[in-house]
Structure 1
Amino acid sequence: MKEEFLHFLWQYKLFDVNVLKTTKNEDVQILKSGNYNKNSGPDFFNSQVRINNQLWVGNVEIHINSSDWYLHKHEGDENYDAVILHVVWSNDVDVFMKNNKPIPTLELKHFVSKELLGNYHNLFSKQQRWIPCENQIKEVDVFVIKNWLERLYFERLESKSVLIKELLEQSNNDYEAVLFQLLAKNFGLKVNGEAFLQLATSFDFSILRKVRFNKLQLEALLFGQAGFLDGDVQNVDQLQLKKEYKYLQHKYSLHVIANGFQFFRMRPNNFPTIRLAQLVALLHKHQNLFSKLMELEKLEDFYKLLSVEVNDFWKTHYTFETASKKSNKKLTKSFIDLLIINTIIPLKFVYYKSRGEEDQEKILKLIQQFKPEKNSIISKFLDLKIKAKNAFESQALLELKSNYCAKKRCLQCAIGNSLLRKTN
């Protein structure tokens, strides 16, 4: 039994409210549960209860055992002077107010159904499970799941917005600069994402604005900052880039970042050198990429805009050192999907909100055009008969798993709520 569960019971009155009595056999009528307080102080503010026909307005404090009042030293804290009702699971000791009168106490265990308790114990069993409700989730109404997934998706966008807002603040709300930084992070994928973001934030974006028209300088800037032009250079192309970078370095007082890029256990097409070459091609091709992306709504238009291939050197190389069989190394549709899902849509979401044009339907219409992602989490949900029809649902399921199931936040989850309230 956790105190959070008692908060949940009180907030939603999930007990027999018609026969409530205090431990002193006084009638209790709940007129208003109060405002749930997640910070310090009493658990519910501005509650209204009637005790033996006397109306009380104040705060409610909740504990597993009534003795927790003294364990938490509330008796010496004036924040608890306005407590009108002490709600507990087990009343193991009387608690007194400063006037030496006992605080009215409601012992909940006498009023909660065995069925609800059974549902709670099923969800919070110590048995090792992939998600707490894996044995029951298929019983939940489809309508409940559908509505919950929509809310989860926008919660996921809100969490992704945190980094975007930080970058906007650092760049004085330069959306073009932030787009570059976010694209760089996602070009690095999971393994090299942080290294790519460090690269993208290692110089002022105004420098990139100046050199992006010159593909040699743009390539020299990014590969040079990344440290790929350091050391003993033998390759003619690399030597030319190094010479150009030295010029840029002196002109703009640039400092090479510590090279933290990983090649180990990566497919050649995902090597940081190839992803960096593709990023160079994209930045050089489109001078006002942010405004163009904000206008697009159809998937095929995104594919057309983001379809780029590397220059001739990288068509025959995966690294500077070794030549390989020629291939165009275009951005694939699956990779473009990742960029749109993880970078462009979250940025659209923040941009719309900043202009007071928050349009969830427009965002949903876009994300629903993508196929669901394929990974171990989505596959496991499929085993539990929860199938993602598109990327909107797969993104929502990822949020469900990481931010609710993994943290056992069943009491804040619509699916968990549905299972707790389930009756036979």
Structure 2
Amino acid sequence: MHFNEDFLQYIWKFRLFDMNNLHTTDGEELQIISPGLQNTNAGPDFQDAKIKIGDTLWAGNAEIHLSSLEWKQHGHHTNNAYNSVILHVVYRDDEPVYRSNGTKVPTLVLFNRISQELYTRYHHLIFDQKQFIPCESRIGTIDGLLIQNWLTRVLIERLQKRSIALTEALKVNRGDWEETFYQFLAANFGFKINALPFEMLAKSLPQNILAKHKNNTMQIEALIFGQAGFLTEDLADEYPQLLKKEYDFLQKKYNLKPIEKHLWKFLRLRPLNFPTIRLAQFAALVATSNNLLSKVLETREPEAFFKLFDDIKVNAYWDNHYQFDKPSVIANKTMGKASVNVLLVNTLTLFLFTYGNYHQLERYVNRSLKLLEHLTVEKNSIMDNFALLGIKVKTAYESQALLELKNSYCDHKKCLQCGVGIKILKLA
């Protein structure tokens, strides 16, 4: 049999091995009262296990290895944290194992106790070649309620992981939530392709500088386009000339250093997604919104979040331009609902969730999840492939969870840590 330690942990966790006539390698009768709780952090694999050896009931931890040799290879024989191990569960027994205090650890060998049928199902799930995800031929047979419950858990995992970057940025910004929100919102205005230069722009242009010019939209636009590196060259049209004049003065006043223009990507983007248009929209939002995060935290109903972006009206110059000095046909440059939807998914829901956890205010966490339930599904190949497998996705709540499922579980074949994978192995 060829399998990973994860499979052996799965076998132990659900007691899916022959439980008859169990004995330790020393010949003592063994009874498993409880396999314990799986530990995902450092230390023994299962905590609070309960076993009976002979007439003695033991409570402690269990450690799982493919071979008993791994006990010493992993340094457990010198690690006091493993002195609490009451049972060593292995597939192959190569040598006895001892705690750091010199006492011998009872060992249970699972060789010849795992059914060939279960192994075959596992091997088919993990090792067979699949086009999209390991369980693509079986996921459609799983009860929808079970999938929904698992997706809820995976969604929380996704938000918690993404919160780490936010809280780290908050530390750098000395606990300033508004500044951190401004930086993350700017990055998401780049919509992945230009996320990095947008983030660099925001960090090079603190919000407190913009706040001093709230009453002068032209200066806000000059600061943003200037810091983005678009006002370093000679420009022909009157509007960018005015921006350049304003920026030259403000740059000296605040000792600003613009980012490099070449960082912005135009290639293979639709004109409406050009960074110049996104910068114009961002400037319009900054000019018309005071304390935007505070407004977000005050907003309760999902529909009202869209209204925060309703007034983004760019300078009239952009009505017939996508870039400076390059006239084009007249087209509406306001943000579409799909773009706002992406900003809400990637910025607002994350901040509500993180703010709620940080301050232990559950209402903001609930608002984050409720908002995701009202936002539309992102369009991408992952969602298309899940749809082909019969997984009906209606909201961003589900699509965000499926993205996490695909990226953190399916792509790494963590089927034995996945609620869907475990169910498939049990039902097969």
Residue in structure 2 matched with residue 289 of structure 1 by the alignment: 292
Alignment check: 8 A CA contact 1:34 1:59 kept: yes
Query: 2:334, 2:241 → 1: CA distance?
Result: 25
Q: Any conservation in 1 of the 2:281–2:335 contact (CA below 8 Å)?
A: yes
Tell me the equivalent position of 1:416: 421
What amino acid is aligned across from residue 381 of structure 1 in structure 2?
A: F
Alignment-mate amino acid for residue 276 of structure 2 = T
> 166-175 vs 256-265, which deviates more?
166-175
Offset of residue 209 of structure 1: 1.2
Q: Which amino acid aligns with 1:184?
A: A
Deviation at 1:59, TM superposition (A): 3.7
**Are residues 1:325 and 2:364 paired?**
no
Letter paired with 2:391: I
Please give the alpha-carbon distance, in whole angstroms, between the structure 1 residues aligned to 2:175 and 2:72.
Answer: 51
Partner of 1:270: 273
Q: Which moved more, 1:31-40 or 1:80-89?
A: 31-40
Q: 1:405 aligns with which of 402, 410, 419?
A: 410
State the 1:231 CA deviation. 2.5
Shift of 1:65: 1.9
Partners in 2 of 1:246 and 1:323 — Cα distance?
25
1:226-237 superposed matches below 5 A: 226-237=228-239
AA partner of residue 388 (structure 1): V
Quickly say closer, same or farther: Cα 1:90–1:172, change in 2 above 3 A: same
Q: Give 1:129-140 correspondences, 5 Å limit.
A: 129-140=131-142
Q: Kindly state the Cα deviation for residue 192 of structure 1 after the two structures are TM-superposed.
A: 0.2
Aligned residues: 423
Please, which moves more after superposition, 66-75 or 165-174? Answer: 66-75
Aligned-residue offset at 1:351: 2.1
CA distance in 1, matches of 2:272, 2:215: 26
Q: Which residue of 2 aligns with 1:336?
A: 340
CA distance in 1, matches of 2:121, 2:4: 14
* SS of the residue 2:340 aligns to: helix
Residue 171 of structure 1: CA displacement? 2.2
The answer to whether the Cα contact below 8 Å between 1:23 and 1:107 also exists between their aligned partners in 2 is yes
Secondary structure of the corresponding residue to residue 61 of structure 1: strand
Distance apart, 1:204 and its partner CA: 2.4
Q: Take 2:423 and 2:345, find their aligned partners in 1: how far apart are those partners? A: 30
After alignment, is 146-155 or 229-238 more displaced? 229-238
Instruction: Determine what percentage of the aligned residue pairs are the same residue.
Output: 43
Structure 2's unaligned 5+ residue stretches are none
Classify 1:206/1:142 alpha carbon distance in 2 versus 1 (closer, same or farther; 3 Å): same
Match of 2:180 in 1: 178
- Which sits farther off after the overlay, 388-397 or 100-109? 100-109
Any idea what SS the aligned residue of 1:30 has? strand
Aligned to 2:91: 89
Distance 1:40-1:159 versus aligned 2 partners, 3 A rule = closer
Residue deviations 1:326-354, cap 9 Å, x none?
22311111111111111111111122233
Shift of 1:98: 8.1
Deviation at 1:41, TM superposition (A): 4.6
Which segment drifts farther, 12-21 or 196-205? 12-21
Residues 247-293 of structure 1 show CA distances to partners (whole Å, capped at 9, x for unaligned) of 11111111112231111111111110100001111111222322222
Question: What one-letter code is carried by the residue in structure 2 that aligns with 1:208?
Answer: L
Give the Å deviation of 1:116: 2.7
Q: Which residue of 2 aligns with 1:64?
A: 66
Q: What's the CA shift for 1:77? A: 4.9
After the TM superposition, which residues 331-370 of structure 1 pair with which residues of structure 2 at under 5 Å, given as runs? 331-359=335-363, 360-370=365-375
Q: In the alignment, which residue of structure 2 is the partner of 1:314?
A: 318
Matches of 1:97 and 1:332 in 2, distance apart? 64
Q: How far apart are the structure 1 equivalents of 2:71 and 2:154?
A: 36
CA RMSD of aligned residues (A): 2.4
Is 79-88 or 180-189 further displaced after alignment? 79-88
User: 1:185-229 CA deviation, whole Å, 9 max, x = no partner?
Assistant: 111111101110111111322111112321111111111111100
- Tell me by how many angstroms 1:382 deviates: 0.7
TM-score (norm 2): 0.91
Q: Which AA in structure 2 matches 1:328?
A: N
Of 52, 55, 59, which aligns to 2:54?
52
Q: Which letter does structure 1 place at the counterpart of 2:375?
A: F
Aligned twin of 1:246: 248
For residue 146 of structure 1, the aligned residue among 145, 148, 154 is 148
* Partners of 2:206 and 2:281 in 1: CA distance: 21
1:384 corresponds in structure 2 to 389
CA shift, 1:95, in A, is 4.3
Corresponding letter in the other structure for 2:152: E
Residue in structure 2 matched with residue 219 of structure 1 by the alignment: 221
Answer whether contact 1:310 1:328 (CA < 8 A) is retained: no
Q: 1:250 to 1:55 in 2, by over 3 A?
A: same
Are the structure 2 counterparts of residues 287 and 68 from structure 1 closer, same or farther at C-alpha, using a change threshold of 3 Å? closer
**Equivalents in 1 of 2:255, 2:82: separation in Å?**
59
For 1:323, give the aligned amino acid: P
Q: Which AA in structure 1 matches 2:244?
A: K
Question: How far apart, CA to CA, are the structure 1 residues paired with 2:154 and 2:67?
Answer: 34
Distance in 2 (alpha carbons) for counterparts of 1:240 and 1:188: 25
Structure 1 residue 170 displacement after superposition: 2.2
- Structure 2 residue aligned with 1:156: 158
